[in-house]
Structure formats: C-alpha cells, structure tokens
Structure 1
Amino acid sequence: MVATDGRPAPKGESPAFDLSTYLKERCIQVEAALDLSLPLTYPEKIYEAMRYSLLAGGKRLRPILCLATCELVGGTVEMAMPTACALEMIHTMSLIHDDLPAMDNDDYRRGKLTNHKVYGEDIAILAGDGLLAYAFEYIATQTQDVTAGRVLQVIARLGRAVSASGLVGGQVVDLESEGKPDIQEETLTYIHTHKTGALLEACVVCGGILGGATDSEVERLSRYAQNIGLAFQIVDDILDITATQEELGKTAGKDLLAQKATYPSLWGLEASKAKANELVEAAKAELEPFKEKAQPLNAIADFITTRTH
C-alpha cells in the first residue's frame, strides 16, 4: 500500500494506509457483487424496484466493514461477500421503509427520488419485504468455504439485529419519541444503538465469525462496532444540522422539522463532536491486539467522524 500522497513509504517504515483507495476498490467489488446478486426476472416491476434502491450507490460502508473484518481474522473476501451483499440488502430495506410517508416521509435518498416516489407506496413496501427475505436466502445458498455452524451463527445474529430486539425496536421508539420535548439521553441512545447500531455491529461481528474469529476476538469486534455505531449516529445528527441537501443526498434539517431529539439538541454541537471523537478512540483501542492488520478498521473509524455526508 502506498502512502496517502502516492509516494512509497521511506525504507524501513510501514506504508501509510490509504483509506480512499481501499474504499474505492472495495466499493467496486461490492457494486459488482450486488448487481449479480439480484437479476431482473418476472414479475419485473418488483425486481426493478428492489434493484432501484439496492443499486442506488452510497458508501457501501456496511458490506465493506464485513469484508474488512473477515480479512482481519484470517478469512477472505470471497467467504464474506454473500453476507456483505445481504447486509446491504437489509440496510436498503430499512431505508425504503424509513422513507415511507408513514415513517419519515422523505422524497430523496442517496441523491435520487425515494422508492415510493418512483414505484408507489405499495410496491416500495413489497420491495423492502423482498430484499429482507432474500438476504437470508442469499447467505444460506451462496456462502462458500465456511462451515455450516458459522453460517448459522451469522443468520441468527443478523435476524436478531433486524428484529424487534434491534432495528425494528429502535424504529418504534424513534416514532414514539417524535415531537416530545422531554426525551432523555437514555432513550435517545436506545433508539440509535438499536435502529442504527445493531445492524452496524452485525456487519463487523458477522465478518469476524465467517473468518473464524475466537470468542474473545468477537467480543472485541463487538465493542469496536458498538462504539463506531454510536459515533456514526452522532455525526449523522450533526450533519443533519450543518450539511446541505446536496452533501447529504437526502433532505437536510428533517430532524428539526420532525421535532426529533438528537445529540446536538441535548448536548450542543461541540460536545456532540467531542463525544463522537471519544467513541472512535475507544473503538480503535479495541483493535490494538490486531496491530497493522487493523489498519482498514482503524481508518474507517476515523472516517466516521470526518465525513461530510
């Protein structure tokens, strides 16, 4: 790996890790795998709607985290790619449903019209349902060179992450909390560790399981993921206030309009930024035993607090 400025590292020194190149290369791999994972077939309308949102771009951070963690513990990209694709299918489902008028009622996602604006609410709901169900089928049928026991663990963890114990539960509390001026930090943290953090944690932990991580390594990876998951959401809250719609790829200022409790509304912008940085440092500390092999995950943790969209 060359240094971030493109020059070779000085003799005897480890090269600096170039996150931009790493993310670009991995994103190309993920995009190609996603395109192949969901061919267009009959009835075409539902597959078109599923593909419309699944292939709408984005950072692909969740599948990349899965791939990076699998490699970290000695696995390969090929072992983790079906699960990485499935994670993006589930994430896409959550975005389609989150954008519906009954939920956040948003018109734009990743710089494009939301699914229900293109295909209607009925097809958007079914497209999300189709992606969710297919994700588990895809892991079970496409994962290669991984023991059945590990695949089963991954399916179980992913099921929990998206259930009422995870993403769905967080969304329910989020909806119940809208417009209430007295939401406490405990409730806000519950919302985000479940609505956003549970799936992010599953991305990291499932990658580790597929690659053969030990129990203690899984625990470390879980703590890393919990910390970056909460940091990710804090930065999202900050960007909703400070970024433009063009930068976000979705409507800016939605949290304020919906009277949602956010970390900046509880702590202020500067304290929120400081908390996000603290969480990232705690996450990186969990990776110290992995040494240089943890460069991608360390760099992704830093990226979370410096991103602008």
Structure 2
Amino acid sequence: MKTAFVTDSGTGKTIEALTAKGIFSVPLQISFDNVNRNDLENITLPEVFDLIRQEKMLTTSLPSLGRITALFEQLKADGYEQIFAVPICNGLSGTISAMEMIAAQVGIVFDYLDCYVTAVVQEYLIENAKRMHEAGIALSAIKEKLAAVVKTTDTLLLPNDLQHLKRGGRLTPLAAALGGLLKIKPILKINQETNGKIDVVGKVRTMHRAMDEAINIMKQEGVDDSYWITVAHADDEAEAKVLQEKLKTAFPNAQHSLIPLVSVVSIHTGRGCQAIQYFKKL
C-alpha cells in the first residue's frame, strides 16, 4: 500500500526541509492582532521571539482545515492509498482529530501515532517510520517500535517568566505574583504519563537549581548512554549552553543537541524558558 508520511511544523522544520526527506507537512497557526499566520511560512521563529520580547499576546492553533484537506486530496490524487501521521500531540493540539476527520472525508486510509510531546522526537519518529517502511517493515510493527520510543520520552520545561504563563491563562495571577516575589521556578513536564498535557513536577528558587533538579529527575528515570538529549531555549542561548554543559557532565556518552525552542511551545512558556527533551533511541 503506497503510504504518505505526514507531520506538522511542531517539528520545528519547514515544509521544504521535510519535503527533501520525502515527508509531508502542514503548518500550525500563530495568531496575534487578530491575524492568523502559518508557522515557519509567513512568520519565522526569530519573529516570534521578537514579538514575545514586545510582550505581544500570541496564541497558537492547529493547521487550517483547508491546508490539511488540500494536502490529503493531493496525496490521494498522486496515488497514495494511506497516510501515516505523527503530528503534535493530542494533549496540546486538535491536529490529530482534524487529520483523522479530513482523511475520512477525502476517502484515504489514515493511521497515526500520538507522540505525547512535539519538537525533536516528533521529527525523529516520522523519519524513522518512513525509513522502516522503506525497509519493508509492516506498519503495525513500526507503530510498536515507535511506541517503545514514546514510552521513554520526556520533556522538562524550566520557564523563566511566570507573568507570561499568567497572561496565557496557564497560571493564576496569585500564583504568578507569589512566584515572582519568592523567585520560584517551576519544573514542568509533558509526556505519555501526563497524556500530552503540561504538569508540574517540582518547584525551586533559581534557574540553575531547576537545571540541577531536572538532571536529578532524569537520573531517577534511568537516562543513560542510549538516549538523545536536546536542550531547547526560548531566546536565551547563553543559559542553554550552561544547561547543556551540566547535562554533558551528567550523561557524557549520550547524544546531545542544542536548538531554539519551537514556536508553538515558546509562545506558551515565554522568553527565557529552557527545555530538555530526551528519549531512548531506536
């Protein structure tokens, strides 16, 4: 069965970059001043960071239904009989449900995997799904292998701006005020255990203590040399490098990378957030 592999801009990659790998994508939407813009298409990550610095109120939403429909109709016209998707997780977006609905309308078989996060692991999963499919592995077996990766995946968020979380409705005004007064830094997590939703896993007084506590959490979870550990920052590369050095010291033989935090997460966490995403590689 001719299969198309589909994802979205939650990967942090443009449609063109993914197309070069034989993967199809649709852009999530970013809105401000009552205008919707397509992520990484007519608004870039540096522009998002600049708007956050200006304290603009940005929101995110799933890809437009028209864009999903146009892609799926084109895939069907090109002879694809099936779509396998790894979109941004269901806990953060309605993208999976929208894709499933539109595939039924278009009349093309649709299957997916909920990664329970987004960003690096999302791209890793869709790329490996395509690679394994081309190696002749059945889709059911591919999903089992990918699900094993998802089970090991975690993302820890270390936000720096509680006021931003308050403005976005993700923190009460009282909690934000007390947090600012006491200099409390929450440690947030998102994974399969939280069903793809953001939850609090700890609270400390400074960003560097938050980094150390995050590493302690990772050690307790059994992170080892078989993991890929990514530091992602919301417009604060200097602190990201400090965090990465701490992680390299704690896990010297793991695979490490450092990237800007994807737009659709940075918008909700605010400037200065540091994120650690880690998972056990195939």
Q: Same fold (TM over 0.5)?
A: no
Bigger strand share? 2
TM bucket normalised to smaller: 0.3 to 0.5
TM-score computed with the length of structure 2 as normaliser: 0.37
TM-score computed with the length of structure 1 as normaliser: 0.34
